[in-house]
Amino acid sequence: MQTCFFRRTLVVLSVLTLGATVPALAQSTAPPKSEPQSYPERTALWEKAIVAFETADREKGTPPPGGILFVGSSSIVQWKTLATDFPGLPTINRGFGGSHIPDSTFYAARIVLPYAPKTVVLYAGDNDIAAGHTSAQVTGDFQTFALKIRSALPEAKILYLAIKPSPSRWKFQDRIQAANKNIADWIGTQKNMAFVDVHTPMLGENGEPRPELYVADRLHLSPEGYKLWTQVLAPYLKP
């Protein structure tokens, strides 16, 4: 159990070892009392979903190593067309809806590392911002995730899909843009990582989210939204 999971000092020490500069991490606002924010309490939210992945692997067989593993929140969970969107590429979907970046980090040993993927694609941070996390905190949490993957899978490519500009969360746009910029800047100091900017093309000429890219809840992606993501991401997945 990772009892020190949220100690940011570990992130700073790890990144400094790699010669990168980490932005100062600010405190988040108070999270909703109904949702635990630390482990082991937070396992109550996701353990069922993680066990379902492990059960599927036992029953159907574990995907072979060297695949492209997608992990993160509901935008990954609902990407049902991964296999057809990226034909010929061995995609694995291990998203669990409502999750934050630290949840993917905590469960990486069970839903990322066992597959020894060639590429790891993360989409998360959206829910983190909505829960009151600062842009600096989201940046630090991504660094923790990336460094954990890098430590265990030094040859794996790590791709971060930018936090999208959802109409229903437009009030958080400033924080979202700041988090995206901070993460992109840090990724620029790292090897074999890339920031995939799906945020910019999701904005219309008026600078606001394009409504056709979202379903009725104005948060999750429509087929047109996933089509755009596929077009932007595809060049990063080429062998």
Q: What would the pLDDT profile of 47-97 be if each residue is shown by its tens digit?
A: 999 999 999 999 999 999 999 999 999 999 999 999 999 999 999 999 999
pLDDT reading at 30 higher than 50: no
Indicate the pLDDT class of residue 37, thresholds 50, 70 and 90. Answer: confident
Cα 121 from Cα 42, distance rounded (Å): 23
What is the value of pTM for the model shown?
0.85
> What are phi and psi for residue 227, nearest 5 degrees?
-60, -40
Residue 42 pLDDT more than 80? yes
Q: How would you label 147-169 residue by residue, b for 16+ Cβ within 10 Å and e otherwise?
A: bbbbeebeebbbbbbbbbbbeeb
Please state, for a pLDDT cut of 70, what percent of the chain lies above it: 86
Better-scored residue on pLDDT, 65 or 3: 65
CA distance 90 to 82: 9
Question: What does the pLDDT look like over 153-180, one tens digit per residue?
Answer: 999 999 999 999 999 999 999 999 999 9
Quickly list DSSP for 42-107: THHHHHHHHHHHHHHHHHH-PPPSS-EEEEESHHHHT-TTHHHHSTTS-EEEEE-TT--HHHHHHT
Q: What is the pLDDT of residue 31?
A: 39
Give me the half-sphere count of Cα atoms (radius 13 Å) on the Cβ side of residue 55.
Answer: 6
Indicate the DSSP class of residue 195.
Answer: E
Between CA 63 and CA 128 the distance in angstroms is 29
**pLDDT for the residue 34:** 63
Angle between helices 173-187 and 135-152 (to 10 degrees): 30
For 46, half-sphere exposure in the C-beta direction (CA atoms, 13 angstrom radius) is 32
Q: Which of 27-41, 157-171, 223-237 has the lowest mean pLDDT?
A: 27-41
Place of tokens 């635990």: 36
Neighbours of 41 (CB within 10 A): 10
Distances (CA, A) of 5 to 101, 154, 168, 181: 12, 21, 30, 24
